[in-house]
Amino acid sequence: MPTAAPAVPDFDPRSPEYLRDPHVAVQGLLQTTPVFYHPAIDAYYVLRYDDAREVLTDWETYSSRAYKAMPVRDDLRDRIPHEYERAGQVVQGGQILNMDPPQHTAQRRAAQRTFTHRRVNDHRPRIAAIADELIDGFADRGRCDLLNDFAVQLTLRVVGTLLNVPREMLPGFQAWINDIFGILAPIDLRPEDVTTPDEQLVATYERVHAAYLTYSRFVQERREAPGDDLASAMLTITDDDGRPALSNDDVLAHMVGITAAGTDTTANLIVSMVRLFTAAPDQLELVLADPSLWENAIAEGLRRAAISNQVFRIATRDAEIAGMRIPAGSKVGVVLPAANADPAKFPDPLRFDVRRENAGEHLSLGRGRHFCLGAPLAPPEAQIALQTLYRRLPDLRADLDQELSYVPALSVRAILGQDVTWRVD
């Protein structure tokens, strides 16, 4: 018979200790309390690999309908009209990550038919050219902020190329996505429990609505005059009856999801890999001597230092995880760094090992129906970026003594900047 999960109120995934290295921070809990209740979040947390994988793959028991745009109190309605809130809800609700079958099945199938490995492979020369162009801009300086001067610029321009978003629109599109995720809220959050200051919430929703109108016009123009880009492909794909498979709002939501996955995730992966190689130069020597190891090295980087931090599900019925009772209607948080650092799955889990045989079994890109839609892009883009960096700047090193800052969010562990240096001849 299942027992009540113990409460662990002092678990803090936004603490400096945790952010510095989640794999290290969770080792004690992995051994002693792999399933626990967190009162502050009102969620049951799951740490071990097998349990995490079960939650991620059993969509009938653990629903992905766990998020929505932040709800609005009645007394703010004159400042945040329904159409402002709808703009946020449309984009949040349209994320494949927030869907269950059968809606998820149809949307995912349509998106996957257009965002393919072949499409990404066709862009490989362009990715390398952008990387070289960016490096040209700072190579003679001997130092830069690798995240903001290179990785963010590269990933945003690559996604912009895939979607054929005009270059001048890219910064605004990225800012809009940041606002979209800034109003991300649990599905059960009540308007009166929103803690975001009123002025901040009003300003964010004003920007979200204005940008929604701008990018909706962009999508409609692409529907009327499609090109050979990913956005056009999503707009022109049809269902079995010959009707458009995706609405304009569907495509806009997928553009947001692909851009978020293809920019912040990949940019942080590039930076984290340089940090890992700086700390373990023997591993860099291995991949430089044997380029066939690059694919596995990227998988190991995703396991050891991915941006993904926590994903939440809603228990649709009473459940049991590792002998612990999970009541129906509860939030269930999967701590992805903990699953990726489970020694029962990954022996010597704190070691960065480019030859690790099961590195590809990490959960950083999800699992099952919700395996990341951007998976065809992130690993090859990171590989091309890193190969170009080390070809152009062979003694590139990250400043491992730098006190890093992170985005203040539960769902991601995103670095805000990383200083690097190299020798200038």
Query: What per-residue confidence (pLDDT) applies to 368?
Result: 66
Sequential DSSP letters for 115-141: S-HHHHHHTHHHHHHHHHHHHHTTGGG
What count of other Cβ atoms lies within 10 Å of the Cβ of residue 114? 20
Give the position of tokens 């978020």: 260
The full set of domains in the chain, from first to last, is 3-421 (1.10.630.10)
Nearest 5 degrees, angle CA 106-CA 107-CA 113? 90
pLDDT, one tens digit per residue, over 136-176 is 999 999 999 999 999 999 999 998 888 888 888 888 888 88
Query: CA–CA separation, 341 vs 347, rounded Å?
Result: 9
In the block, tokens 């890193």 appear at 386
What per-residue confidence (pLDDT) applies to 128?
95
pLDDT of residue 115: 67
Q: Give me the pLDDT at residue 372, please.
A: 67
Entry field: residues in the chain: 425
Sheet order of strands, 324-326 included: 3-4, 324-326, 319-321
Amino acid 101: pLDDT: 63
CA distance 116 to 114: 6
Q: Report helix, strand or coil for 390.
A: helix
β-strands 3-4, 324-326 pairing: parallel
pLDDT value of residue 98 = 64
Q: What per-residue confidence (pLDDT) applies to 94?
A: 66
How far apart are alpha carbons 32 and 45 in whole angstroms?
13
User: Alpha-carbon distance 406 to 149, whole Å?
Assistant: 17
- Ranges under pLDDT 50 in the chain: none
Structure tokens at 393: 């700047």
Which pLDDT belongs to residue 103? Answer: 63
Nearest to 266 by CA among 155, 191, 164: 155
